[in-house]
Amino acid sequence: MSDLQFFGHVIDGEEVESLSGKRFDTVNPYTQEVFGEVAEAQEEDAQRAITAARRAFDEGPWPRMGRRERAAHIHALADLMEERTDDLATLDALDMGKPLVQARHDVARSVHNFRFFADHQRDATGETYPMDTGHHSYSEYGPAGVVAAISPWNFPLMMATWKIAPAIAWGNTVVAKPSEDTPASVTMLGRLAVEAGLPNGVINTINGFGVPAGSTLTADPRVDRVTFTGDSKTGKVIMASAATHLAPVSLELGGKGANLVFDDADLDNAVHWAVEAIFRNAGQICLAGSRLFVQSGIYDAFMERFRAAAEALVIGDPFDPRTQFSSLASRRHFDKVKGYVDSVEAEGGTVLTGGTDPDGRWLVRPTIITDLPLTASHYCQEIFGPVVVVNRFEDEEEVVHLANDTRYGLNAMLFTENLSRAHRVASRLRAGTVWVNCFFIRDLRTPFGGVGDSGVGREGGTFSREFFTEPKAIVMQIDRGPRG
């Protein structure tokens, strides 16, 4: 008997193997050892999950249930997740090498996703439109149907719940597909949904590769919404696939966040957040502050402290509570990030600190690069690792231009104590989110998404409601005047 854990598909309330019996391995990137076997969905498995979600939507109680009852079910699932925080966090730490302390934080945010959207739909109001014609109109937000939720590996549980929570809260049923690199925690979520007593087929989870598991979901006309977080190139493929049956898509894609530090910034605060923005989760964050622009007057003082803080990060075993930084999530990803670090000098830059060690670990140390021309691939492409390119700037006009000079537009950060400048620059930055004197702080009511290659659409609060429902206008005659 193998002592590897097994992660199946959770379909219609049951954990099952693939119909073909095919499995693949999942690896702990820190030890590079296989710790689990995973069912590998083929087309027929993905279709089976859609069938279950379809039946749960068309015939089951979920979309017809009262708002309070649905909210209570979702809170019951959130309670169970909270109880099993350590188990869920352990799976994410094992699967992607994320420090356990950070994985626990991700579980807390995942629980909050469910609680927030459960309450948001329970307490939501619609609009009324008084009319001058003897009629009265109002809006109603009914569930859209079956949602395909496809997520990446960098926040395995959190990214999936960011999609699943609003989808089910608004009465839809879901087929979720986590990344093939990190299947464990979402599978456990599927199991917990069964244990929490959600009706069968409301949350189905399948494991497998983008093609055929994900691509079968996006192409199936029985799917009414596709919500995807991942690479911009994959997003384009998914949008084209969903377009064949006109399913609306919500795409949260790559980023190349600019971080602007002005001369009058609070230095300690700016250094703290600049480190968080590029080295948290080993830089494997779509929102990473991977382009850092520092104004001339503060440049030397900032860089001295920034470098010292990067070098002081505790690198090690994700399960050691002192660890702040660990290996990258997979061999493939390590090779990609290492490729960028190895080409710095050839492109004219300097590695101020960081780089890789010749010890076979999939580790890229916190890496700071200077002197690169703005045309270097490191500025233009998403590296998605702990690698930041730094440049100095002279004035506001110049830095706004530099920050906006990218195909991406997910987020930006700016650090200044000048109130007018903060508002002025925030407004001019082409990005879905701008953080002033902070980073990564979210209120789930606010719109989240990106501009350009960073995505299509917004989620969060009423923005999620727009996407996961079919808004309906109801027009009623209240005054029997002349017809016509």
DSSP for 91-159, written as a single string: HHHHHH---HHHHHHHHHHHHHHHHHHHHHHHH----EEE-TTSEEEEEEEEE--EEEEE--SSSHHHH
Strands (E) located in 262-373: 291-295, 350-356, 364-370
Binding region for ligand NAD (CB under 6 A) out of 51-59, 186-194, 199-207, 248-256: 248-256
What is the rounded distance in angstroms from the CA atom of residue 456 to the CA atom of residue 236?
10
Q: Which residues of 127-156 are buried (b: 16+ CB within 10 A; e: fewer)?
A: eeeeeeeeeeeeeebebbbbbbbbbbbbbb
Q: Which is nearer to ligand NAD, 51 or 411 (CB)?
A: 411
What is the rounded distance in angstroms from the CA atom of residue 95 to the CA atom of residue 30?
9
3-state secondary structure of 364: strand
- Active site amino acids: 252, 286
292 binds ligand NAD per the rule CB under 6 A: no
- Min CB(240)–ligand NAD separation in Å: 10
- Min CB(233)–ligand NAD separation in Å: 7
Write out 48-74 in H/E/C secondary structure: HHHHHHHHHHHCCCHHHCCHHHHHHHH
Q: Which is nearer to ligand NAD, 349 or 455 (CB)?
A: 455
Please list the residues that pair with 228 across neighbouring strands.
Answer: 150, 251
Q: Which is nearer to ligand NAD, 35 or 209 (CB)?
A: 209
334 binds ligand NAD per the rule CB under 6 A: no
**Region 205-234 residues binding ligand NAD, contact defined as CB under 6 A:** 209-211, 214-215, 218, 229-231, 234
**Region 430-459 residues binding ligand NAD, contact defined as CB under 6 A:** 450, 455
String of contacts with ligand NAD for each residue 395-414, x by CB under 6 A? ---------------x----
Max intra-chain CA distance, the chain = 85
255 binds ligand NAD per the rule CB under 6 A: yes
What is the rounded distance in angstroms from the CA atom of residue 192 to the CA atom of residue 73?
12
- Min CB(186)–ligand NAD separation in Å: 10
String of contacts with ligand NAD for each residue 104-143, x by CB under 6 A? ----------------------------------------
Binding region for ligand NAD (CB under 6 A) out of 24-32, 95-103, 133-141, 249-257: 249-257
Q: Which is nearer to ligand NAD, 77 or 219 (CB)?
A: 219
- Cα-Cα end-to-end distance for the chain: 77
- Min CB(382)–ligand NAD separation in Å: 5
**Region 161-180 residues binding ligand NAD, contact defined as CB under 6 A:** 177, 179-180
- Min CB(332)–ligand NAD separation in Å: 9
What is the rounded distance in angstroms from the CA atom of residue 407 to the CA atom of residue 422?
23
- Min CB(234)–ligand NAD separation in Å: 3
Q: Which residues of 439-472 are buried (b: 16+ CB within 10 A; e: fewer)?
A: beeeebeeebbbbbbbbbbbbbbebbbebbbeee
Q: Which is nearer to ligand NAD, 26 or 218 (CB)?
A: 218
**180's tokens:** 């093939």
**Amino acid type, 209:** F
Binding site for ligand NAD (CB under 6 A): 150-154, 159, 177, 179-180, 209-211, 214-215, 218, 229-231, 234, 237-238, 252-255, 286, 382, 384, 410, 450, 455
